[in-house]
Amino acid sequence: MPFPRIDTPAVLVDLDVVDANIAAFQNFCDDAGMKLRPHIKTHKLPFLARQQISAGAVGVTCQKVSEAEAMIAGDDNDSDNSALGDILITYNILGDAKLARLARLAAKAKVSVVADNVAVVDGLARAFGDAAAPMRVLVECDTGADRCGVRDPDAAAVLAERVAAAPGLHFAGLMTYPPPGRVADVQEWLSEARRRCEARGLSVEVVSSGGSPDMWNLGEMNAVSEYRAGTYVYYDRSLHARGVCDWSDCALTVLTTVVSAPTETRAVIDAGSKVLTSDLLEMRGHGHVLARPDLEIDGLSEEHGRVTGAPTRLRVGDRLRIVPNHACVVANMLDRVELVRGDEAVDVAEVVARGQVW
C-alpha cells in the first residue's frame, strides 16, 4: 500500500517532480530571455515561492491581498526576508480595507498592482497620494479572454495616462491574462498598446502576460517582457489534455481509498467534490487515475467519488492516486498537503494562503 502512514483523502505534492518542474521552466525562460514571475495561487506555500525565486524568478504573482500577506508573513520566518520582495497582485483592488492592507504590504516589499478602470485608479490614488513611494500600476488589457481588462489598445493608453498623472501612482506597464492558443493576436494587441502609450510619452517598463497553456510558446511572444505561470509547478489533467505536460510531470495528486465496491463496474472512493472540486475545464470526468487509465471518475458527491470501469478490478481498501482536473483549486481545499519524494513521505506543509476570507 502506498504511503501507509498517510490517511486518505490526502493531497500529495511530490517535491522531486516540483524541483524538476521549477528548474525546467526557469531554464526555458532563461534561454528565451523571458523574465518569469510565478503565480503562487497554485501552491499558496511560501517555501515553494522562495524556491521559485532562488531558481531565478524575478518575483511572484498573487491574486489576492491575502495571498501576498501570507507570502510575506511566511517569508518573515525565514532566513532570507528579501526573497519574496517583489510581488505583483494581478487584481483590481477596491475599497478602503484592502487598500489599507495594500499600503502596509507596500511598506515591506516592492508591490505592483493592476487596474482596468478609472474607479480602481482613483481609489489607488487616494490610498497612495501621500505615500513615501508611489504604487506601481500596470494597466490590465483584455486581449481576448473576455474577463477583466481594457477593451482596446487606445483605451490602454488612455488609462495609462490617467495612472501616470495620478498622485502617488507610477505607470509601470501592461498586463494581460490572454486567451490560450492565440499568441500572435495577443502580441499584436500588446505591441499596439505599447506604441500608443509611447506616443503619449509614457514609458512601458513591463509587459506581463501569462498562463500555463501557452508556457512553451515564449519564443513567439516578442511583445512580452515578463511571464506569469502558476500551474506549471504542479501541472494537472487539464494541462495534460492540452499537451503541455506528461503524467510524470504532475506533482500534485490526490491519494484516495476505495471505500465501497458495489458492482463489478462501479467503486466508490473517499475523494469527492470537497477535495477534487467540480472543476471540469471542458473535460469529461473528475480526474486521471494513475496507472489505471481504463477507469473513469464519472461522478462526485461531497465526500464520495464514483469510479467506473469494465470491470473496475477494485477492492475495498485499495488506494488510488488521482491527477485532478485542476491543481490550483485542489491545493486550496485542505489545510495541509503531504510532501513526498517518490514513494517516501518526507514532510507536511500548511497551505497558509488558503481559506483567507478576502
Kindly list the residues in this chain that would bind its own copies in the complex (CB under 8 A).
7-10, 41, 63-64, 91-92, 94-95, 97-98, 116-117, 119-120, 142, 146-151, 257, 259-263, 266, 268, 270, 273-274, 277-280, 299, 301-304, 306, 315-317, 328-329, 332-336, 354-358
Residue 297 CB, shortest distance to its own copies, in Å, is 13
Greatest CA separation found in the chain? 71
Say if strands 226-228 and 35-36 run parallel, antiparallel, or are unpaired. Answer: parallel
Closest to its own copies by CB, 246 or 302: 302
Angle between helices 118-128 and 153-165 (to 10 degrees): 20
Residue 341 CB, shortest distance to its own copies, in Å, is 20
Half-sphere exposure of 262 (CA within 13 A, CB side): 6
Integer distance in angstroms from the first to the last C-alpha of the chain? 40
| Cβ neighbours of residue 350 closer than 8 Å, sequence gap 6 or more | 335, 336
Q: Which three cell numbers stand for residue 295?
A: 477507469
| Cβ neighbours of residue 79 closer than 8 Å, sequence gap 6 or more | none
Closest to its own copies by CB, 56 or 285: 285
Residue 156 CB, shortest distance to its own copies, in Å, is 12
Closest to its own copies by CB, 203 or 278: 278
Residue 177 CB, shortest distance to its own copies, in Å, is 8
Closest to its own copies by CB, 202 or 352: 352
Closest to its own copies by CB, 106 or 268: 268
Angle between helices 46-55 and 15-32 (to 10 degrees): 40
Radius of gyration of the chain (CA): 22
Residue 65 CB, shortest distance to its own copies, in Å, is 9
Residue 329 CB, shortest distance to its own copies, in Å, is 6
Closest CA to 358 of 42, 66, 114: 66
Closest to its own copies by CB, 291 or 357: 357
Residues 2 and 254 sit within 8 Å (Cβ to Cβ)? no
Residue 143 CB, shortest distance to its own copies, in Å, is 12
Closest to its own copies by CB, 54 or 147: 147
Residues 37 and 58 sit within 8 Å (Cβ to Cβ)? yes
Residue 332 CB, shortest distance to its own copies, in Å, is 6
| Cβ neighbours of residue 76 closer than 8 Å, sequence gap 6 or more | none
Closest to its own copies by CB, 19 or 303: 303
Dihedral-angle region of residue 353 (phi above 0 means left; psi in -120 to 50 means alpha; beta otherwise): alpha
Residue 148 CB, shortest distance to its own copies, in Å, is 4
Closest to its own copies by CB, 150 or 251: 150
C-alpha to C-alpha distance for 296 and 314, rounded to whole angstroms? 12
